[in-house]
Structure 1
Amino acid sequence: MLTGCDVKRPEAVKSALLAISRLNDDVQALLFNPNKLAPTYPASMILRPPKFNAYYDVMNVKPVDGATWRLEVSGLVADKRPWTVQDLQALPQSSMVIRHICVEGWSYIGGWSGPTLRSFLEHVGADLRARYVAFRTADDYPSSIDMATALHPQTLLATAYGGDTLTDPFGYPVRLRMSTKLGYKNPKWITAIEVTNTYPGGFWEAKGFPWFAGL
């Protein structure tokens, strides 16, 4: 495909690469099985504490005050009232011990707990036929996923790790945790969730990383 591009025109090359990336996203979406579960592991294999990774150094983490934190809800939902930590904890809780796989090549096994994203979306009356669920965060790390992944039973709004309340620098009070996507698709310190049919992109996607990023 690139042989038809003028390499002296960077915009043409960029456009071609973007088209290929979007095609890869579409293929991955078609292959995704929303009923297939990722492998789980015994609690004895949980890494304590979890590994920290971000686009900045751990010393630059800015803790969130759970007492004043609110989760904003917008887009194609019936109930747009903000949520507190206690509201999330009042939902049915799920736990899973899964492998976190980073695009950089490392991985670890972690134990996460919290409400499923599906239960949250159902509770706020989200349009489950919408295409995307987008996230904004306290550390300016926007991200988004497809609705099929959002509804997967192993997609959590994690509020606890290893049986204890989530702490900093690991995303307190809530982070996304999925078994079906690479690590960079799991934003921490979530402050807002939007259900939309407009492509939201993401922090690394804007820099050329694949959007679907499935495992």
Structure 2
Amino acid sequence: MNRTKPVVTAAEIQKDLMPLRRRGLLRGGLSLGALTLLTGCDLSTHSGVDAALEAMLRFDDEVQAAIFGQDRLAETYPASALTIPFRFNAYYPEWEVPNVDPNWHLAVSGLVADKTPWSLAALRALPQTSQITRHICIEGWSQIGQWSGIPLQVFLKRVGADLRARYVNFTCFDGYSTSIDMASALHPQTILALVFDNQPLAPQWGAPLRLRIPTKLGFKSAKNLQSIEVTNRFPGGYWENQGYDWFAGV
């Protein structure tokens, strides 16, 4: 099988990741001594800590991007492996799940030929695929769910996206956002999910449309999508801007 190369190199992506800090990782368990051995930095100042964490973040993302490819698939499972009940997860409690605007349309912007907003009916008319894959949370737990929806690569081609662009950015009407590189967007398992557990998405699962990307940690699978932007500008994201891994591969 031919391996599809990333649209941009890991080194190019790292230039955009430079401003991010990962102080949370330091608090999460790595000792100052270990950081000193890894980086050779003087960690007695904040600048030393920042330099060490930047180096670790660059290395981590570069390794993940280097081994990523269209033929590296997340594991799939039989229906008998489904997690029941499936656990709700968001950056807000379940009783604050937002309502869906009955006039909701998906906005499309950036480096695309057709910026016409998409209705739910129009999205449902596109080719669909289904997967039973594992949702892996950065907090350490995981569960298996069944998702169906539009391969993101199909949608991007339909709107005439520039597939040479670096990033695809997702913003949500609940205030969330995330972004991925174009190679991850074109991965065959990356979908715009309309269905969960053989039912139309309910609000707690991200209605009316969510990103589902099983090759990355769960916080990348943004719920309640409002817009998709194709861009060469590094977009960051809600958690990424607070120090989480940007590539976030699993």
TM-score by length of 1: 0.93
Answer whether contact 1:134 1:194 (CA < 8 A) is retained: yes
Alignment partner of 1:156 out of 175, 181, 191: 191
CA contact (8 A) 2:41 2:48 kept: no
- Residue by residue over 1:89-126, the C-alpha shift from the partner in whole angstroms, topping out at 9 and shown as x without a partner, is 01001000111111111111100001010100000000
SS of residue matched to 1:140: coil
Q: 2:74 corresponds to which residue?
A: 38
Q: Indicate whether 1:205 and 2:249 are aligned.
A: no
Q: Please say if 1:60 is aligned against 2:96.
A: yes
Distance across 2 between alignment mates of 1:22 and 1:87 = 40
Q: What RMSD in Å do the two structures reach over aligned CA positions?
A: 1.5
Deviations, residues 143-192 of structure 1 (Å, cap 9, x unaligned): 00111111111111001011110101110000111120010111000101
Q: SS of 1:115's equivalent?
A: strand
Query: What letter corresponds to residue 133 of structure 1 in structure 2?
Result: V
Gaps spanning 5+ residues in structure 1: where? Answer: none
Q: Within the alignment, does 1:72 sit opposite 2:101 as a pair? A: no
1:103 corresponds to 2:103: no
Q: Does 1:5 align with 2:6?
A: no
Provide the C-alpha distance between the structure 2 equivalents of 1:145 and 1:27, rounded to a whole number of angstroms: 16
Distance 2:131 2:113 in 1: 29
Structure 1 residues 150, 7: closer, same or farther in 2, change over 3 A?
A: same
Q: Secondary structure at the match of 2:204?
A: coil
1:175 maps to a residue whose letter is R
Name the structure with the higher helix share: 2
1:24 positional shift: 1.7
- Structure 1: how far apart are the matches of 2:54 and 2:228? 26
Q: Deviations over 1:52-95 (max 9, x none)?
A: 11111111111112x31111111111001111111110100100
Matched letter for residue 7 of structure 1: S
Aligned equivalent of 2:127: 92
> Which runs of structure 1 show a deviation greater than 4 angstroms over 4 or more consecutive aligned residues?
none
Aligned residue-pair number: 213
Is contact 1:63–1:169 with CA below 8 Å preserved after alignment? no
CA distance in structure 2 between the partners assigned to 1:162 and 1:180 by the alignment: 19
Tell me, in whole angstroms, the C-alpha distance in 1 between the residues paired with 2:135 and 2:95.
22
Using the TM superposition, give the Cα deviation of residue 19 of structure 1 relative to its aligned residue in structure 2, in angstroms. 3.7
Shift of 1:20: 2.5
Post-superposition shift, 1:6? Answer: 5.0
